[in-house]
Structure 1
Amino acid sequence: MTSNKGKAKGGLQQKHIHSRISYLFQAATYLAETGRKAQQCGSNQKADDQTANKHCEESAMSEEAPSRQSPHAVLPSQDDQGAGTTAAEAGSAPRIQDIGLSRQLFAHLRAVSLKSQIRISPKIKHSICKRCDQLLVPGCSATTYVENKSRKGKKPWADVLVITCVACGISKRFPVGAKRQLRREKRPTQPKEQSANVTALLER
């Protein structure tokens, strides 16, 4: 006799693996968002530093000659400005590395689901790139558009949503207008009489 120790009575089977997959997805999503925000802040800060340096140079050129200034006046040196920017970049560097860590967690999530033979939910699967394991955020890390390859786009059920990853360039396609087919266990079964007639016809 086979033992049913692994089966939960009236509950979800392999609940600990489902919770592990959920935790990996939440952690990877959080790290990807923080890394993306760090990249945006770093680019904005570099632009602000460049404008500030230009403003300082223009003000220094417009000032009087250094001989007329007081001997106690001290101008900010370029070394001090460079030290400030390097410190800011050093502070944002760990956050930018979070994107690579999020990819690693997504790859681990995919490996856990394959090894345990657990189907990932469509929402999670559609939000992860299948080549580089990057979080697909429309307008940031992915581009989305709808294409219709029918003649002059007259068939509305031929609309297909195309999601393209910015990092690797691979695309995912999802039908928009077509109805999704039900799973085999949820499809209506044929009556026994019809199935008997079909088998009789096939035997002839």
Structure 2
Amino acid sequence: MAKSKASKSTRTVPNKHLHSRVAYLYEAATYLLSQKTGDITAQKTTTGETESPPIESDQVNESQSSKLKHKGLPNHLVEHIHSISRRGQIHLSPDVKRTFCKSCNTLLISGSTSSSRLENRSRGGKKPWADVLVVKCLSCGAEKRFPVGSERQKKKADRVTKDKSAENPEGKSSQMDVDH
């Protein structure tokens, strides 16, 4: 017997297993990071500083320095998400991509691993459409900038065709006839 063809109304997502893997890794990274920051706040001393053993320079070799550079499992999971999306040619949504630091692969959570501020560099902040959200990674210091409050401009082809149709809806002249 031949396989029955799927109806046109039911469409399947290509590489569905990769999408589910990326979603799982993202959830795992956020969970681990929330547990990690919760543990750090619980370990604070009365002076407000966290206790960590000092690292001597002669004890650090290349493999240990690379481990210190990546700072744990959540960053490794974010690297894994990037590699899966590249290998499987999966496009991550902008909301997901905005939560990753591009330089150090840290998951950006406001208040714990990142800080955010609203900036308006227009003349005295008079232009409300010039608001920019600046998100700063607290581990590497990199900044990401996102426009806020303004809609994305349409493509030029869409703007030109819409403007022409508004000027001449039925091909008639836009000037009114004047009786003399």
TM-score band w.r.t. shorter chain: 0.5 to 0.7
Q: Secondary structure at the match of 2:26?
A: helix
Which consecutive unaligned segments of at least 5 residues does structure 2 have?
1-9, 48-67, 166-180
Relative contact order, CA 8 A, sep 6+: which one is greater? Answer: 1
Q: Secondary structure at the match of 1:169?
A: coil
| Corresponding position: 1:123 with 2:95 | yes
| Corresponding position: 1:30 with 2:31 | yes
For the structure 1 residues 138 and 180, does the alpha-carbon distance in structure 2 shift closer, same or farther, using more than 3 Å as the test?
A: same
What is the letter of the counterpart of residue 26 of structure 1?
A: E
CA distance in structure 2 between the partners assigned to 1:110 and 1:140 by the alignment? 22
Q: TM-score, normalised by structure 2?
A: 0.66
Alignment of 1:171-190 (within 5 A): 171-181=143-153, 190=161
| Corresponding position: 1:108 with 2:80 | yes
Measure how far apart 1:182 and its partner are.
Answer: 5.3
For the structure 1 residues 33 and 183, does the alpha-carbon distance in structure 2 shift closer, same or farther, using more than 3 Å as the test?
A: farther
Q: Report the structure, 1 or 2, having the larger helix content.
A: 1
1:151 to 112, 115, 123: 123
Q: In the alignment, which residue of structure 2 is the partner of 1:58?
A: none
Q: Secondary structure at the match of 2:129?
A: helix
2:113 to 141, 151, 170: 141
Q: In the alignment, which residue of structure 1 is the partner of 2:138?
A: 166
Which consecutive unaligned segments of at least 5 residues does structure 1 have?
1-8, 49-96, 195-204
Q: In the alignment, which residue of structure 2 is the partner of 1:63?
A: none
CA distance in structure 1 between the partners assigned to 2:161 and 2:37 by the alignment? 52
Q: Identity over aligned residues, as a percent?
A: 40
Q: Once superposed, which parts of structure 1, at least 4 consecutive aligned residues long, lie more than 3 Å away?
A: 181-184, 187-191
Deviations 1:102-152 (A, max 9, x none): 100001101111111111112211111111111212122111111111111
Residue-pair matches, total: 133
Aligned-CA RMSD value: 2.8
Higher radius of gyration, 1 or 2? 1
CA distance in structure 1 between the partners assigned to 2:109 and 2:86 by the alignment? 24
Q: In the alignment, which residue of structure 2 is the partner of 1:41?
A: 42
Q: TM-score, normalised by structure 1?
A: 0.58
CA distance in structure 1 between the partners assigned to 2:111 and 2:75 by the alignment? 19
Q: Secondary structure at the match of 1:173?
A: strand
CA distance in structure 1 between the partners assigned to 2:126 and 2:153 by the alignment? 23
Measure how far apart 1:177 and its partner are.
Answer: 2.3
